[in-house]
Amino acid sequence: MINFKTMQEDLQPTMRHAAERLDARGTNGVNATMAMALLVAVAAVLFAWQGEGYHAGFHTLHQVAGGALPDRLWMWITRLGDERLLLVLSLLFARYRPELFWAMIVAALIAILYNRGLKVLVDAMRPPAVLDLEQLNLIGPALRNHSFPSGHTVSVFVFAGVLFAYARGWRARVLLMVGAGLVGLSRVALGVHWPHDVLAGAFGGLFTAALGVWLSYHWRAGLKAKVHLWLLLLPLLGMVLVLLEDGGNPHTPVLTVLVVFAMATQLMLDYRGYRR
């Protein structure tokens, strides 16, 4: 049986070290993440100004991206923007970098308000609802509404944005942005989002990541051992949900099962010492 009292006691040093790391670094990285968000916002404004409205650039990006990589690879890349799968991947940091795990949870909660709120408020039509399907190389389900912003892009930039704030070298930060940008581009390649949706998603993800890192520094409830253990239920719930249904994503069972199996194994290994 799992001994929760022992788990809490043994987690205390980890939580204390996490708090010490936060004290030492302060809010370093927040300004850089916010600056990156503003850079994306400027790019979106310039793109809209030079382009032809909300749908500007779609056909070019859709064709170029679609021809650059196989459809199967775009399906795998876009799945890495699934908020449930990213929640599962947060277990990479839960045990030994709980301050990162906590920042991701806080940022994700803010991002949900940004993403869901704008989707309901704007309710823009997606490419399959506007264009003739013969004009699209549609990969996966023909999603039609709630286009703005791209939820996958918001989610992946929240995940990458928190890591961006904590990263020390510029090379790591560049790789994070390139990787997250590739997931955003996949939404255009699949034919389910306009470029402006992706830019709005990148801005929202980075902005909420910066807020999440800042708030998690000042509000450290997630660095209490008992709270930390309860928070582990979230990625566990994510495992169940991501295995049960695709959530409008292209069907990628191999990737999903591999990620869930790997993270479930890591969870058991990270917390294996807490049994009678």
Instruction: Give me the tens of pLDDT residue by residue for the chain, a chain 276 residues long.
Output: 566 788 888 899 999 999 999 999 989 999 999 999 999 999 988 888 876 788 889 999 999 999 999 999 999 999 999 999 999 999 999 999 999 999 999 999 999 999 999 999 999 999 999 998 888 999 999 999 999 999 999 999 999 999 999 998 999 999 999 999 999 999 999 999 999 999 999 999 999 999 999 999 999 999 999 999 999 999 999 999 999 999 889 999 999 999 999 999 999 999 876 544
Q: CB of 53 within 8 A of CB of 159?
A: no
Task: Give the contacts of 57 (CB within 8 A, at least 6 positions apart).
Answer: 47, 51, 195
Tokens representing residue 259 in the block: 């990620």
Question: Quick one: pLDDT at residue 134?
Answer: 86
- Confirm if 101 and 230 have CB atoms less than 8 A apart: no
User: Do 241 and 86 contact (CB within 8 A), yes or no?
Assistant: no
DSSP 240-251: HHHHH--TTS--
Give the torsion through C-alpha atoms of 61, 118, 200, 60, to 10 deg.
10
* The pLDDT value given to residue 276: 43
What integer pLDDT is reported at residue 248 of this predicted model?
87
- Give the pLDDT confidence score for residue 4 in this predicted structure: 74
Phi and psi of 132, rounded to 5°?
Answer: -65, 135
Residue-range domains of the chain with CATH: 29-268 (1.20.144)
**How far, in Å, CA of 86 to CA of 138, rounded?**
24
